[in-house]
Each structure stands twice: as C-alpha cells, then as structure tokens.
Amino acid sequence: MTTAATDRCASSRGLQFNTGNGNTLQPLDIGHNDYLGLVDPDTAFWALIQKDKLGEALSPGPFLQQYREKAAEFAAEMDRFRFAVTPSAVYFNPTERCNLNCSYCYLPETLRQDGRHMPTAEVLSALEILKRYFLSTLPAGFKPQIIFHGAEPTLNWEALLAAFDRYGDAFRFGVQSNGTVLSDDQYDVLMKRGVAIGLSLDCAVDEIVTRTRKTWDGHSIYAKVVHSMEKLRGYPNYSVICTVTGENMHQLVETVDFFHQSGVSTCMLNPVRCTRQGARDIKPADQDISRYYLAALDRTEELYRETNRRLVVANFANILIAIMAPQARRLMCDISPCGGGRSFFAVSANGDVFPCSEFIGVPAFNGGNLFHDRIGAILKTPPFKLVTGRKVEDIDPCRRCAVRHFCGSPCPAEAHQMNGGMDRTGAFCELYEDQVRYAMRLIADDRHSAFLWDDWDRDTTTTFELNAC
Ligand code: SF4
Ligand code: SF4
C-alpha cells in the first residue's frame, strides 16, 4: 500500500529538512519551562530540545545527520505498524440484551431490551470458525483474544462457560461487564480460569453514576458494582472503565482516589464515544474534559508518590507508550488507521461482523455474517475498507498535525455518525493535543514511569538515542 510517508513524487532528493522531499521537523510547545518538542509527524520521531538550543538543533550537525540516517527506517516501521497488521482479537457479543439502560450506549434501546441471546451451540460454532481462521493467519503458538462484550455478555452465562470449557486452550478470554449480574461464585469461576475482567463505574458518587448508568426503571446499580470491585480486589487481570461525560467529569479526581482505595491497578478514563445521540447529549466540551482529565492524571501520580502503588490510566499510558515506543502500544484507538477491522473485529449476537463494536448499531457497517461468509472476504468488504482506509493524512486538520501518530484522530464511528464522514475528525481533538503535551512534559522531567506498568517496555529496544541538546 502506498502511504503518505513513502509517497515521494517530487524530484527533490530529500537532503534538506522541512523542504522538498526532506523530513519535516515541527517544533511543538509542550508547556514546559525549558524544553520544546521537535516532531517528525510522518515517522512519529520526536526529541526534546532545550528552548535556547532549537536553532542549533535545526542547523546542520550531528542531530540532523543521525536522524536523517534513521528516518527511512522509522518511516518503514511506522508503515508496517499502520498497514501490515492482521486481526488477532475479536469483540464477541453473545447477547444483544442488557439489564441496564446507560445513556451513552452505542447499541439501540430496542436491541438491548428485546434482542437475542446467541444460543450456546451457536457461540461454540462461531468460536470454532474463529479458531480455524486464526490458525490460518497467525503465527504458530500465538493465542488470539476473545473479549465477550456488550450489551451485557454475562447475561448469557451458560454460553460463556461452555466457551471457556471448550476453547480455554485456543483463546485468551476476557469479559467486559457492567458488574451488576454475576454472583461471587461466578467471579470465582472467571478468576480461576484467568479470564480478564473489565467492570464499568463512572464515579465514586452513587447519584452521579445513576445519572448515566442505571436499570431500565431508573434504579441505582452503584452498590452492586462496588461489591463486584471488592470481590475482584487483588485479582491481577482486572480493570475498571470510567466513561467520562459532562455529568461526571467534575468528579474525576475523586473517582481515581476511589479506584486507588479500592485496590484497582488499571483503569481507563475514556471520553464518551459520541456515536449515538444519547452520548452526544452529555458530551463535554474539549477544554472542560481536558482540564479535569489532566487533574486526574496529576492525582494518580500523587497517589503513587504517597503509597508506592500505581493506578495506571491505560488510555493515557497508551499515548505515553505511543510516544516512547510507537509499536508497543496496547490499545488501538490512537493509531491511524485505528484497530477497527484491522487488529480486531466485532461479532454481533447473530453472527454479523463489524469493524468494531462501536459500529454494531450502524447496519451500513455490517461486513457479512460469520456463519455464511469467509472472514477473509468480510475484512475486504466496502464497509470494512471505509474504516481500515481512514487515514490521518486524509483528514483536516490532522494531515497538518504534529501529533497525528500519537492521537490517530479517533474515532471513525464518531466521525461518520456525528461529523458526517470518514474524512472528518471525531469528538475530542483538543483532549488529544493536551494529552500529548502532558506526556512530553512528563518525559522531559523523567516522571513518566509513575504512569506506566512496570513491564511496559519488556519487549522494546532503543533504536535512537542522542543527548545533544
Ligand atoms: S477508534 Fe473507534 S472504531 Fe476505532 S477501535 Fe477505537 S472505538 Fe473502535
Ligand atoms: S484529532 Fe486533533 S490532535 Fe488528533 S491528529 Fe487530528 S488534529 Fe491532531
């Protein structure tokens, strides 16, 4: 595939920076007293430069010389990471139903109230199809991931159990749950099998949680979720998602305090995905969510300094890792094209296949059916290509943005449903700008390890290091 990084058609030999076919290095004010960022947006290369040495850094010398020697390699690595990945995970919806009526859900109400459970036999035959597909596409010994996702997957408990029993050796399993359905005994079953468990709680205050996450008749689910969190305390393969909206953003600092007190070691503070109107109704302004989000990140660092125990905000850690080691990132929303249809896909409760769960309520993005169509063919259908072909280079203003390979311009579902097309941005540009600047400040002050898992760089290698400025 031809990409912006390799599509060099001018006659320039690319010997100079910032003109012709030469590499681009954009200075970036990161809000630091002493340092500026210098970023090549095409390769995701960056350096921190002392403010009074910017001119020196951009004059012919060892810094530019060494970068020029490495730039083509960086561009090729980034291209491979962006365009040569095949799926290794599936978000699998074993039911359309949910016992809750959350304001921002990406699934239509009618489905969640009256939709179908996938019968156990169908779940097993779907997993058999997926197992065979992955055996033919992934390296020997690699275990793909199945994440049972919602609606509320644990409502179809019998099918989940059968799946773990029959396919425990074939897949790494995960369950993303609202935390209100399972008993302590059922959590014991999941933990005994090493299943990754994600729960959702949006705030430490019951009344605020109930504004957006509640039963169909409007009742609170807070106590039940907190009970589930207590049950999972100390289980290493567990995380909590907080969806950040205009209703709860003011409480984000208190929320991370509560997660930390509850023994949570990994959480996500996900800005609400604005795929459906219910989510758009409670969308905060970029500058507001950003202020509270960065304050919550500050608080996680304080908590770490006070207790020597981290609460990693995984979606921010992913951006930090995207800067430090682009290919080591674990989540796939902030790379372009995003992971939807590329590193994973989603299966609905009747076997329909979508690039990502965010599209399950949008029939135009149905690429085919797992039981009737070949997965390889589904991945090449026009609905999938719309998502996997959405690149930052084709979107304004992302094509000019220095941080485009740390942000990825998420999310295509929002771009399409909220802003009118795949060549549009998604919902929270300014939040991403601010996160990248915040991350670079942390790196400049060598504070970043407080925000990362201990082993985040286990499989990474340093390919370029120069302390010239
Ligand atoms: S950016 Fe949106 S469509 Fe892409 S993986 Fe993330 S949620 Fe899914
Ligand atoms: S959404 Fe904003 S921050 Fe992200 S790449 Fe586009 S312009 Fe840059």
Maximum separation of any 2 CA atoms in the chain, in Å: 68
Residue 179: what pLDDT?
97
Mapped onto helix, strand or coil, the DSSP state of residue 49 is strand
Residue 4: what pLDDT?
45
Residue 459: what pLDDT?
62
Compute, in angstroms, the gap from residue 409 CA to the centroid of ligand 2: 5
Mapped onto helix, strand or coil, the DSSP state of residue 336 is coil
Q: Phi/psi of residue 266, each to 5°? A: -135, 130
Mapped onto helix, strand or coil, the DSSP state of residue 406 is helix
Compute, in angstroms, the gap from residue 425 CA to the centroid of ligand 1: 12
Compute, in angstroms, the gap from residue 150 CA to the centroid of ligand 2: 29
Residue 327: what pLDDT?
81
Q: Phi/psi of residue 428, each to 5°? A: -130, 50
Helix (H) or strand (E) holding 344: strand 344-347
User: Checking phi first, is residue 408 left (phi over 0); if not, alpha (psi -120 to 50) or beta?
Assistant: left
Residue 84: what pLDDT?
87
Q: What are the distances in angstroms from CA 152 to CA 10, 146, 155, 178, 370?
A: 53, 15, 6, 7, 21
Helices and strands, number each (H, E), in the chain: 17, 13
Compute, in angstroms, the gap from residue 357 CA to the centroid of ligand 1: 8
Q: For the chain, which ranges sit under pLDDT 50?
A: 1-6, 468-469
Residue 462: what pLDDT?
54
Q: Which ligand is nearest to the CA of 408?
A: 2
Q: In whole angstroms, what is the distance from residue 141 CA to residue 357 CA?
A: 27
Q: Which ligand is nearest to the CA of 396?
A: 2
Q: In whole angstroms, what is the distance from residue 413 CA to residue 359 CA?
A: 6
Strand partners, 240: 199, 267
Q: In whole angstroms, what is the distance from residue 290 CA to residue 239 CA?
A: 22
- Would you say the CB of residue 392 lies under 6 angstroms from ligand 1? no
Q: Tell me which residue has its CA closest to atom 2 in ligand 1.
A: 411
| Beta pairing class for 368-369 and 352-354 | antiparallel
Q: In whole angstroms, what is the distance from residue 37 CA to residue 194 CA?
A: 41
Q: Is the dihedral of CA 138, 139, 140, 146 positive or negative?
A: negative
Q: Tell me which residue has its CA closest to atom 5 in ligand 2.
A: 404
Q: Tell me which residue has its CA closest to atom 6 in ligand 2.
A: 398
Q: What are the distances in angstroms from CA 365 to CA 15, 354, 388?
A: 44, 6, 12
397 prior amide bond cis, ω within 30: yes
Ligand 1: atom nearest CA of 355 is: 3
Residues constituting the chain: 469
Q: Which ligand is nearest to the CA of 399?
A: 2
- Would you say the CB of residue 401 lies under 6 angstroms from ligand 2? yes
- Would you say the CB of residue 432 lies under 6 angstroms from ligand 2? yes
Q: Are 199 and 240 in contact (CB under 8 A)?
A: yes
Residue 8: what pLDDT?
59
- Would you say the CB of residue 415 lies under 6 angstroms from ligand 2? no
- Would you say the CB of residue 341 lies under 6 angstroms from ligand 1? no
- Would you say the CB of residue 415 lies under 6 angstroms from ligand 1? no
- Would you say the CB of residue 338 lies under 6 angstroms from ligand 1? yes
Q: Which ligand is nearest to the CA of 268?
A: 1
Is the pTM here over 0.75, yes or no? yes
Compute, in angstroms, the gap from residue 389 CA to the centroid of ligand 1: 13
